[in-house]
Structure 1
Amino acid sequence: MTKRTASCSCGQLSIEVQGESLGVGVCHCLACQRRTGSVFAALACFAAPFRVIGNATEYVRVGDQGTKYTFRFCPVCGTNLFHTEEGCELSYVNVAVGAFADPSFPAPQDSVYECRKHSWVQLPPGTQGYEKDPT
């Protein structure tokens, strides 16, 4: 079974996941743009079990549809490494794709909040786009 490790910039916080991702997506919402400091967030979803190594700071944000998301950051370097959804914490985790530091990581299949996408962003052919979050 494939095992992957994603780490923060300083290496204090990491997460180990197993198996292939359940999906890779990008989010263009303004909250993700602010959270990442980039024009979108790139996330990969993995089924449990996963293992967190190190200490994390948590920030809870309520999404447009009322769902609570808990984001985990490294308290040393500030890297936003992963997040979970309220009620699903034991089922799956969403990990920042860039934290795997793997240029061969699979491309996104989905793109949400395209109503907020920067006009110059070009995604791979075949990426399914949604104006907002389809859930």
Structure 2
Amino acid sequence: MMARTARCTCGQLSITVEGEPLRVAVCHCLACQSRTGSVFATLASFPVPYQVTGRATEYVRTGDHGTRFVFRFCPVCGTNLYDTEEGVDDVVSVSVGAFGDPSFPAPQVSVYDCRRHPWVTLPPGVRVFDRDPPG
């Protein structure tokens, strides 16, 4: 099985996952725009197990449906590297850009399309949701 490693900008924090992503998604919500400093976040979900090396700072945010997400940042360079959903112990989501792999699979899902900047074009076949679908 193929292993992939994503790293923060300074290299202090990394996460290694195995296999192909379960899902690759982009989120255009204002919280993700603020969190990433970009106009959307791109996350790939992977099954456990995963291995983290280095120290991380945590930030917990509650989503629209009451779900609590725990975001992990590098305390040195500030890179938001990965997150988990409280109560979901079998999946981790990793920031796609941190893999440094231009051949990484394209997103299949786009959420909060109501907040998507009009000049952002999605790849063909992406399933689009106006907001975050429950569940």
Q: Same fold (TM over 0.5)?
A: yes
Structure 1 equivalent of residue 16 of structure 2 = 16
- Does 1:72 pair with 2:77? no
| Separation of aligned partners in 2, 1:83 and 1:128 | 22
Structure 2 equivalent of residue 109 of structure 1 = 108
Query: Cα deviations across residues 5-27 of structure 1 (Å, max 9, x unaligned)?
Result: 00000000000001110010100
Residue identity over aligned pairs, in percent, reads 67
| Separation of aligned partners in 1, 2:133 and 2:119 | 23
- Does 1:60 pair with 2:65? no
Q: Counterpart of 1:83 in structure 2: which amino acid?
A: D
Query: Cα deviations across residues 34-88 of structure 1 (Å, max 9, x unaligned)?
Result: 0000000000000000000000000000001110000000000000000000001
Structure 2 equivalent of residue 131 of structure 1 = 130
Query: Cα deviations across residues 100-134 of structure 1 (Å, max 9, x unaligned)?
Result: 00000000000000010001100101111000111
**Corresponding residue pairs, total:** 134
| 3-state SS, counterpart of residue 115 of structure 1 | helix
| 3-state SS, counterpart of residue 101 of structure 2 | coil
Q: How does 1:32-111 map to 2 (within 5 A)?
A: 32-88=32-88, 90-111=89-110
Q: Counterpart of 1:33 in structure 2: which amino acid?
A: Q
Structure 2 equivalent of residue 118 of structure 1 = 117
Alpha-carbon RMSD across the aligned residues, in angstroms, is 0.5
Unaligned runs of 5+ in 2: none
Q: Counterpart of 1:66 in structure 2: which amino acid?
A: G
TM superposition outliers: structure 1 runs of 4+ over 4 Å: none
| 3-state SS, counterpart of residue 33 of structure 2 | helix
